[in-house]
Structure 1
Amino acid sequence: MKIWIVLLLALLLPASAFAKTPPQEGAALKAVYVSLVPALVGNFGVGPKLKFYKADIALRVTGSEAEEKVKYHEPLIRNQLVLLFSQQTDATMGTVGAKETLRQEALKQVQAVLTPEEGQPLVEDLLFNNLIIQ
């Protein structure tokens, strides 16, 4: 009889090791990247010749709750970014330094539209996975 109990415990112990435990309070949340798919495509600049851009953008948030909220507000975020990109010129998109300034401004704009909606900016960083201008 004792052998059966020992064997039963031996089988149940490994199964309990794989059981999911609920997240503890104060546990560190993981960074999540929300990609804006499809990529933003549009024209910018002034003059007789149209200039085009294609921007693959990822937004860094912390936690799945923030990820869901950002996905919910994606149309608002995309609208704000399209407006920002359409106001650019060759000078504000042509160099590496200008692209970094544009990235920082895009982050500020995204945070500015999310704060009134959610009470906090949610997005910690904005990354250009790919930014093509033509």
Structure 2
Amino acid sequence: MIPVKRLTAMLLALTLPLLAMAEEAPKEGEAPKVAYVDLVPSLVGNYGSGPRLKYYKADISLRVSGPEAQEKVTRHEPLIRNQLVMLFAQQTDESLGAAESKETLRQEALKQVQQVLHSEEGQSLVDDLLFNNLIIQP
């Protein structure tokens, strides 16, 4: 026969993980948790035209809602990176130089990432795109 204290301890040990898992599930009416997907390594490449090579380096994070969206975005990261590299290669000194121009580029990058994911998954999944670091060498 098992002593009552030992039985209580065993039942408690078995129920604690279940309680922890129940707390992690989003409650009805609650917004899903925000997650960030970092595109690692940084995007590095050439941009513009002319006789002299111009370089950029961009550290980018994508804001998504929930772990399911995070997993899907991570799965399509190579396609997202390709789209962003193509977008950066089309830029000029003017489109990368001023703060307003960088904001326009950020919005265009977000739009293109959302389009790629919409064509692959049927939904855009990415809520925002952030430049953690954007360095250019004209």
CA distance in 1, matches of 2:101, 2:120: 29
Match of 1:58 among 47, 61, 86: 61
Matched, 1:124 2:127: yes
1:67 paired residue number: 70
Residues 35-58 of structure 1: CA deviation (Å, up to 9, x unaligned): 000000000011111110000000
Go from structure 1 to structure 2 and tell me whether the alpha carbon gap of 1:51 and 1:118 turns closer, same or farther (over 3 Å shift).
Answer: same
Instruction: Report the TM-score, using the length of structure 2 for normalisation.
Output: 0.84
Q: CA deviation at 1:116?
A: 1.2
Q: CA deviation at 1:14?
A: 6.8
Residues 89-131 of structure 1: CA deviation (Å, up to 9, x unaligned): 0000001111111000000000011101111100000000000
Q: Is the 8 A contact 2:114 2:126 kept in 1?
A: yes
CA distance in 2, matches of 1:11, 1:72: 42
> Structure 1 regions of 5+ residues with no counterpart?
none
CA distance in 2, matches of 1:79, 1:122: 18
Go from structure 1 to structure 2 and tell me whether the alpha carbon gap of 1:24 and 1:64 turns closer, same or farther (over 3 Å shift).
Answer: closer
Instruction: Report the TM-score, using the length of structure 1 for normalisation.
Output: 0.86
1:79 paired residue number: 82
Residues 42-83 of structure 1: CA deviation (Å, up to 9, x unaligned): 000111111100000000000000000000000100000000
2:36 paired residue number: 33
Q: How many residues align?
A: 131
> Structure 2 regions of 5+ residues with no counterpart?
none
Runs ≥4 residues deviating over 3 A: 7-19
